[in-house]
Amino acid sequence: MLQRSPRVRCLRIVSLIALVAAGCEPWPLRGSRREAPEAAPAPERAWPGRGWREPAYPLDTHSRSVPEEGPLECPDIELVRYRGGEISYGRGVRVAPPFQEKLERFERIAAEVGEEIMRRPPESVRHFGAFNCRRVRGRPYRMSEHGLGNGIDVSGFRFGPAPREAREDLPRRLWWRTTVSVLDHWDAAEDETKDESDVLKSRFLRELTRRLAEEDVFRGMLGPAHPRHRNHFHFDHGPRRYRIL
């Protein structure tokens, strides 16, 4: 039988004392069994490769995997018709309640950016809808976030007349009701043929998406840089994080 020298035993004792002093549990003795502690529920989600955590999101528990062919059955979850708070959605959009909270933050930021650049907030959002039970285009094995009421497609904004006191800061074409379009104005600031009013509309869209990304309102953001989103933004809060604007 191998005998440890007094020096080895001494080093092990010193190491054990150091572990206990640091608040760590010492390694188990050979041949002993230790029951694994019961896993505690994780209220937060860790994102791989990132040094931060975020609160769990209720819709993360639903699987997005679906059969590639045949009828699609979307989860039976609660949906509400949301017509907007600070900004109108017209006849409204059908969304899951957790996503409604994201839209409320979206409206607040859109109103702030509108005040800054257009000298008034938008009065309405132009959109292609929210809930739609369908697969992701080009990925038939995956359900779209629209199928959970967890995404919206925004094509632009409608602004009412500018207040009289703000008109001196705006080109004349922006004094009255006007529309900001993703298709027409996203790249206007880079087009020398566009006038000042179109450049301001472009600035509104660019600053809006920058603020939405900075404040992490949505996990998924697609725009004109994506080939299937030339004329609208897609915003969602699915499990995957991506931004192609």
Q: What is the pLDDT of residue 157?
A: 98
Q: Classify residue 125 as exposed, middle or buried by CB count within 10 Å of its CB (0-12, 13-18, 19+).
A: buried
The DSSP secondary-structure symbol of 4 reads P
Q: What is the pLDDT of residue 8?
A: 44
Which residues form the domain of 195? 97-129+152-240
Q: How many residues does the chain have?
A: 245
Q: What is the pLDDT of residue 9?
A: 53
State whether the Cα torsion 162-168-174-175 is positive or negative: positive
- Output the pTM of the full model: 0.79
The reply to whether 156 falls in a domain is yes
The reply to whether 167 falls in a domain is yes
The reply to whether 118 falls in a domain is yes
The reply to whether 224 falls in a domain is yes
Q: Classify residue 51 as exposed, middle or buried by CB count within 10 Å of its CB (0-12, 13-18, 19+).
A: exposed
> Across-strand partners of 236?
151, 220
Q: What is the pLDDT of residue 156?
A: 98
User: For 145-157, what is each residue's pLDDT tens digit?
Assistant: 999 999 999 999 9
Distance CA 182, CA 154 (A): 8
Chain centre distance of CA 90: 23
Give the phi and the psi of residue 235 in degrees, each rounded to 5: -120, 130
The reply to whether 74 falls in a domain is no
Task: Give every residue of the chain whose pLDDT is below 70, as ranges.
Answer: 1-54
The reply to whether 103 falls in a domain is yes
Q: What is the pLDDT of residue 216?
A: 96
8 A C-beta contact, residue 35 and residue 28: no
Q: What is the pLDDT of residue 7?
A: 52
Number of structural domains the chain divides into: 1
Within 13 Å, how many C-alpha atoms sit on residue 39's CB side? 3
Q: What is the pLDDT of residue 134?
A: 98
The reply to whether 172 falls in a domain is yes
The reply to whether 225 falls in a domain is yes
Q: What is the pLDDT of residue 6?
A: 52
Q: What is the pLDDT of residue 226?
A: 96
Q: How many CB atoms lie within 10 A of CB 98?
A: 17
